[in-house]
A and B are shown apart, each in its own frame.
Chain A
Amino acid sequence: MSRHMIAVKVRYHNILRKVAGRTEESIVLPVGASLHNALEHVGDRHGPRLRHMLFAPEGNVASYLVIFRNRTLVPHDQAHAPLADGDELMFFPAISGG
Chain B
Amino acid sequence: MFPYRGYAGKWLYVDLTAGKVEVREYDPELAQGYLGGNGFGTRLLWEHVGPEVDALAPESLLIFATGPLCGTLVPNAGRVEVIAKSPLTGIYGDANAGGFFGPELKFAGWDAIVVRGRSPSPVYLAVQDDRVELRDAGVLWGHTTSETEAAIRRAWDDPQVKTATIGPAGENGVRFASIQMTPQRSAGRCGMGTVMGSKGLKAVAVRGRGPIYVADLARFHELAVELHLRLRANPVFPAVSAYGTPGIVSLMDPLGRFPTKNFQMGSFPEVDKINAEALQNRALVRHLSCFGCPIGCDKLYSLPDGPYAGTSLRSVEYETLNAMGANVWSADLDAILAANRLCDDMGLDTISAGRAIGFAMELWEKEILNLDETGGLALRWGDVDVLLRLLGMIARREGFGNLLAEGMRQAAQVIGRGAEQYAMHVKGMEIAAQDGRAQKSMGLAHATSNRGADHLKAFPVIDETGYPDEARRRYGEECLPEMAQPLAIKHKPFLVKDGEDFGAVVDSVGVCKSGGTFVLAEIYWPDIAAAVEAATGMDMPVKRLKRIGERIYNLQRCYNAVHGITRADDRLPRRFTEEPSPSGNAAGQIVELEPMLEEYYQLREWDPETGWPTAEKLRQLGLEDAIERLDL
B585 A14 Cβ-Cβ under 8 A: no
A98 and B235 form a contact (CB under 8 A):
no
**A15 in contact with B238 (CB, 8 Å):** yes
Contact A17:B277 (CB < 8 A) given known A73-B255, A95-B251, A97-B240 = yes
Q: Does A13 make an interface contact (CB < 8 A)?
A: yes
| A59: Cβ under 8 A from any B Cβ | no
Number of interface residues of B (CB under 8 A): 42
Do B254 and A90 have beta carbons less than 8 Å apart? yes
Contact between chains at B461 and A97 (CB < 8 Å): yes
Closest residue on chain A to residue B234 by CB atoms: A64
Q: In the complex, A72→B240 CA distance in Å?
A: 23
A62 with B235, Cβ < 8 A, contacts A68-B254, A95-B240, A98-B434 known: yes
Q: A96 contacts B585, CB within 8 Å?
A: no
CB–CB B239/A98 < 8 A: no
Residues of chain A contacted by B254 (CB below 8 angstroms): 68, 71-73, 90
Q: Which A residues are CB-close (under 8 A) to B255? A: 73
Residue in chain A with minimal CB distance to B319 = A98
Q: How far is the CB of A93 from chain B (nearest CB, A)?
A: 4
**Alpha-carbon distance A43/B434, docked complex (angstroms):** 33
List of A residues within 8 angstroms of B247 by Cβ: 14, 95
List the A side residues contacting B214 at CB < 8 Å.
Answer: none
Which residues of the other chain, B, contact A62 by a CB distance below 8 angstroms?
Answer: 235
Interface residues of A in 5-52 (CB under 8 A from B): 13-15, 17-18, 23
Contact at B465–A95, with CB atoms within 8 Å? yes
Assembly CA distance A36 to B236 (angstroms): 21
Residues A96 and B235 in contact, CB atoms below 8 Å apart: no
Known: A92-B250, A97-B248, A97-B514. A68 touches B585 (CB 8 A): yes
Choose from B467, B514, B518 the contact partner of A94 (Cβ within 8 Å).
B467
Chain B residues lying within 8 Å of A63, measured Cβ to Cβ, are: 467-469
B239 CB contacts on chain A under 8 angstroms: 14-15, 93, 95
Q: Which residues of B contact A79 (CB under 8 A)?
A: none
Name the residue on B nearest A73 (C-beta).
B585
CA distance A63 to B455 in the complex (A): 24
Q: Which residues of B contact A53 (CB under 8 A)?
A: 235
Question: What is the distance, in angstroms, from B597's C-beta to the closest C-beta of chain A?
Answer: 24
Do A96 and B276 touch across chains, with their CB atoms under 8 A apart? no
Shortest B592–chain A CB gap in Å is 18
Complex CA–CA separation, A96 to B244 (angstroms): 10
Cross-chain contact A96 with B242 (CB below 8 angstroms): no
A79 to chain B, nearest CB (A): 13
B235: chain A residues within 8 A (beta carbon): 53, 62, 64, 93
* Min C-beta distance of B13 to chain A, whole Å: 36
- Which residues of chain B come closer than 8 Å to A66, judged between CB atoms? 251, 465-466
* Residues of B close to A14: CB separation below 8 A: 239, 242-243, 247, 250-251, 276
* B523–chain A nearest beta-carbon distance, Å: 14
B251 cross-chain contacts in A, Cβ below 8 A:
13-14, 66, 92, 95
* B469 x A73 contact (CB < 8 A): no
Q: Does B304 contact A (CB under 8 A)?
A: no
Closest residue of chain A to B297 (Cβ to Cβ) is A97
* Residues of A close to B252: CB separation below 8 A: 98
Q: Is the CB of B250 within 8 A of A71?
A: no
> Which of A14, A62, A72 has most B Cβ within 10 Å?
A14
B123 → chain A closest CB, angstroms: 37
- Residues on A with C-beta less than 8 A from B521 are 96
User: Nearest-CB distance from A56 to chain B (Å)?
Assistant: 9
Q: Who on chain B is nearest to A68 by CB? A: B254
A50 to chain B, nearest CB (A): 12
8 smallest CB-CB distances across A and B, nearest first, come from: A98-B318, A97-B519, A96-B464, A93-B239, A96-B461, A15-B239, A64-B235, A71-B254
A-B contact pairs, 14 of them (CB 8 A): A13-B250, A14-B239, A14-B250, A14-B276, A66-B251, A71-B584, A72-B254, A72-B584, A76-B468, A94-B236, A94-B465, A96-B461, A98-B317, A98-B455
Interface of A toward B, CB cutoff 8 Å: 13-15, 17-18, 23, 53, 62-64, 66, 68, 71-73, 75-77, 90, 92-98
Known: A17-B277, A23-B277, A73-B254. 17 other contacts (CB 8 A): A14-B239, A14-B243, A14-B247, A14-B251, A63-B468, A72-B254, A75-B481, A92-B251, A92-B465, A93-B238, A94-B465, A94-B466, A94-B467, A95-B251, A96-B461, A96-B465, A98-B455
